[in-house]
Amino acid sequence: MKRKGTWLCEKCGSKQEEMFKSCSCGHHVFLEKEEFEKRKIAFEEGKIEFQFNDGGRKEAGFKGTTGDCVTRAIAIATGKPYKEVYDAINELGKREYITKKKKSKSNSRTGVYKQTIRRYMEGLGWKWTPTMFIGSGCKVHLRKDELPSGVLLLSLSKHSATVINGVLHDIYDCSRNGTRCVYGYFSKE
Ligand SMILES: [Zn+2]
């Protein structure tokens, strides 16, 4: 390792004259410029591509936008008609119980509980793979270089979206510029 030179903070990119201090951002891993640039390019190249896809909502005659991300993501992932998924989710919602902790039922338009998504997807033969574990931090981000190929229905914080071979299908780019954490995904066996 060179003694002299300029290092860049791995996290925020700010310059550092001394290797042994902590960066003002709190991070303490520094890289030489060449390595920093190499990683930056790799980071950019690994980002997901975005494709607008409403899952067939508009075509099915629905107006406006709502909190239908689960319905949309399932319709895109499975190739089922939007209305069919919409109705199936509402049917499953009707069978849910209201408890002290769970004050509402799953609804295609406003939000679907995780257990209900799982019940529906597993019923269609899809397998759940968790990618986030308590106390281990985020291991998989919404990026094509961190996700397997194929069709994946992703579970994100307060959102669901489908990725098809490295392309994100949603009504907006929800990848947070390649930094959003993936909690887990459904894939067809
Ligand atoms: Zn920093």
Q: What residues are paired with 157 via a beta bridge?
A: none
DSSP alpha helices (H): ranges in the chain?
33-45, 69-78, 82-94, 114-123
Tell me the pLDDT of the chain averaged across its residues: 93
Nearest to 116 by CA among 83, 131, 94, 133: 94
pTM of the model: 0.87
Is the pLDDT at 2 greater than 60, yes or no? Answer: no
The verdict on residue 26 lying in a domain is yes
Total number of domains constituting the chain: 2
- The answer to whether residues 26 and 40 belong to one domain is yes
> What spacing in Å lies between the alpha carbon of 37 and ligand 1's midpoint?
15
> What spacing in Å lies between the alpha carbon of 173 and ligand 1's midpoint?
26
- The answer to whether residues 86 and 11 belong to one domain is no
Ligand 1 ion local residues (Cβ < 5 A)? 9, 11-12, 23, 25, 27
pLDDT in tens, 55-72: 999 999 999 888 999 999
> What spacing in Å lies between the alpha carbon of 30 and ligand 1's midpoint?
8
Q: How far apart are CA 112 and CA 156, in angstroms?
A: 13
- The answer to whether residues 32 and 95 belong to one domain is no
The residue type of 20 is F
**How crowded is residue 61: how many other Cβ atoms within 10 Å of its Cβ?**
8
> What spacing in Å lies between the alpha carbon of 49 and ligand 1's midpoint?
27
- The answer to whether residues 41 and 96 belong to one domain is no
**How crowded is residue 24: how many other Cβ atoms within 10 Å of its Cβ?**
10
The range of the structural domain enclosing residue 23 comes to 7-45
The residue type of 82 is Y
> What spacing in Å lies between the alpha carbon of 19 and ligand 1's midpoint?
12
Q: How far apart are CA 124 and CA 116, in angstroms?
A: 13
Is the pLDDT at 44 greater than 70, yes or no? Answer: yes
The verdict on residue 2 lying in a domain is no
Range of weakest confidence among 6-10, 69-73, 160-164: 6-10
- The answer to whether residues 40 and 88 belong to one domain is no
The verdict on residue 127 lying in a domain is yes
The verdict on residue 130 lying in a domain is yes
> What spacing in Å lies between the alpha carbon of 46 and ligand 1's midpoint?
22
- The answer to whether residues 161 and 71 belong to one domain is yes
